[in-house]
Amino acid sequence: MSGGPNTIRLSPTDRGIRASVALLRQGGLIAFPTETVYGLGADARDERAVAGIYRAKGRPSRNPLIVHVADAAAAFALIDLPEKGIMAAKAFWPGPLTLVAPVREDAGIAPICRAGAATLAVRVPAAPLALDLLRAFGGPLAAPSANLSGQVSPTSADHVMEELTGRIDGVLDGGDCAVGLESTILGFEEGEPVLLRPGGVTVEALQAVLGPVRAVGVVEDETPTAPGQMTSHYAPGAMLRLDAMEPRLGEAWLGFGPGPARGSAISLNLSLRGSPEEAAANLFAHLRTLDTLLDGKGTIAVAPIPADGLGHAINDRLARAAAPR
Ligand code: TXA
Ligand code: MG
């Protein structure tokens, strides 16, 4: 993008944070690490700054953003949560959970963050660097995943640089994200929790605190019927063949557990020891690596991933990446 900003890599130090805050206060765009994925942050109170997020990502203007704050009290001042929402906040914040509820009239959040919805999505991230940035900034940061719209979420500063150099002001480099999958998104209907997107907090963990959680069959689609339901997300250029027992001729192989990698010239393993946590942390980076090695063509065969715990969210992202496009 000619004429775009120089994208600065900022160190995870007081100086790097101070520089990030200065740029954010000027309406700039700064990518920063959370424990889930890197977010592309802007001052959530600044309409023009938030418009820049949509422009930099090429994001459809109908797809609302998550607002990040430093603690639950700040979140409660933005949205009107039902009792079970407050229970979830107390149990899982800071952490990989996003709560969606009606926005308060005096929240002071730029309406463009909501893209027309009456509700606002809010999250308190757990990554220390994200919290340091939020505290130093002293206000809410709107932040979608820091990738071009439709691409795989970034789990390292290098991933962000590859896609957004020249489009954003800086990347606060905090290394690799610990969880590696986006946050779980929870909404409410008549006070009862509904799962809008599986993610870093497992459904089992939610249910242990909240009782039954209804799953709405969320398929992200470019022509959404409701916010939170948008297509061809998390999509590499290569095709994906899921639940594969072994690679076919010419396919790349993405394994899980000590299964066969034989027969494939290009193979990676999500977790040799079969750990869903390790697999989640590796998923997006491995998809990027295989896609690059395949030059964005051909097929990646993916081993079956058990569906419980974090496996639910891993399978959700794989299904989206494999969806016809
Ligand atoms: O882990 C994460 O959630 C990361 C980090 C940076 O926080 N963020 C992230 O943002 O994944 P994004 O924009 O890539 O995905 C957020 C999803 C979108 O599908 C959006 O449609 C949905 O949240 N969403 C945002 N506001 C909503 C609302 N008011 N109602 C329903 N869905 C909403
Ligand atoms: Mg995203």
Residue 79 DSSP code = B
For residue 120, the ligand 1 atom closest to its alpha carbon is 29
State the alpha helices, DSSP H only, in 165-299: 203-210, 276-293
Encoded tokens for 230: 């948008």
> 249 CA distance to ligand 2 centroid (A)?
33
Name the CA dihedral angle for 79, 85, 89, 92, rounded to a multiple of 10 degrees: -140
Helix (H, G, I), strand (E, B) or coil at 178: coil
185 has which bridge partners?
98, 197
Q: Quick count: other Cβ atoms within 10 Å of Cβ 83?
A: 10
> 304 CA distance to ligand 1 centroid (A)?
27
The string of pLDDT tens digits covering residues 160-212 is 999 999 999 999 999 999 999 999 999 999 999 999 999 999 999 999 999 99
For residue 145, the ligand 1 atom closest to its alpha carbon is 14
For residue 65, the ligand 1 atom closest to its alpha carbon is 25
Residue nearest to atom 22 of ligand 1 (CA): 228
Mutating to test ligand 1, I would choose from 98, 122, 133, 320 the residue with most ligand atoms within 8 A of its C-beta, which is: 98
User: Does residue 227 surpass a pLDDT of 60?
Assistant: no
The string of pLDDT tens digits covering residues 108-122 is 999 999 999 999 999
Long-range contact pairs involving 103-110 (C-beta distance under 8 Å, separation at least 24): 103/78, 103/79, 104/77, 104/78, 104/79, 104/80, 107/77, 107/78, 107/79, 108/45, 109/44, 109/45, 109/67, 109/78, 109/140, 109/142, 110/44, 110/45, 110/46, 110/47, 110/49, 110/50, 110/142
Sequence-ordered list of residues with C-beta below 8 angstroms from that of 95, at least 6 positions apart, any chain: 35, 124, 125, 126, 200, 201
| More confident site: 242 or 233 | 242
Residue nearest to atom 33 of ligand 1 (CA): 228
Encoded tokens for 20: 């990030």
CA angle (115 as vertex; 111, 120 as ends), nearest 5: 70
Smallest CA-to-CA distance from 184 within 87, 81, 43, 309 is with 309
> 194 CA distance to ligand 2 centroid (A)?
20
With cut-offs at 50, 70 and 90, classify the pLDDT of residue 5: confident
Which domains, from first to last, does the chain contain?
8-215 (3.90.870.10), 239-322 (no CATH)
The string of pLDDT tens digits covering residues 239-278 is 999 999 999 999 999 999 987 666 778 999 999 999 999 9
Encoded tokens for 155: 């789990």
Sequence-ordered list of residues with C-beta below 8 angstroms from that of 292, at least 6 positions apart, any chain: none
The pTM (predicted TM-score) of the whole model is 0.94
193 has which bridge partners?
188
CA torsion sign, 294 to 298 to 304 to 308?
positive
> 64 CA distance to ligand 1 centroid (A)?
7
CA distances to 18, 39, 97, 305 from 314, rounded to whole Å, are 35, 19, 16, 8
> 39 CA distance to ligand 2 centroid (A)?
9
240 has which bridge partners?
300
With a Cβ cut-off of 6 Å, ligand 1 is lined by: 34, 36-37, 39, 63-66, 98, 100, 114, 117, 119-121, 123, 143-145, 182-183, 185, 196, 220, 227-228, 230
With cut-offs at 50, 70 and 90, classify the pLDDT of residue 218: low
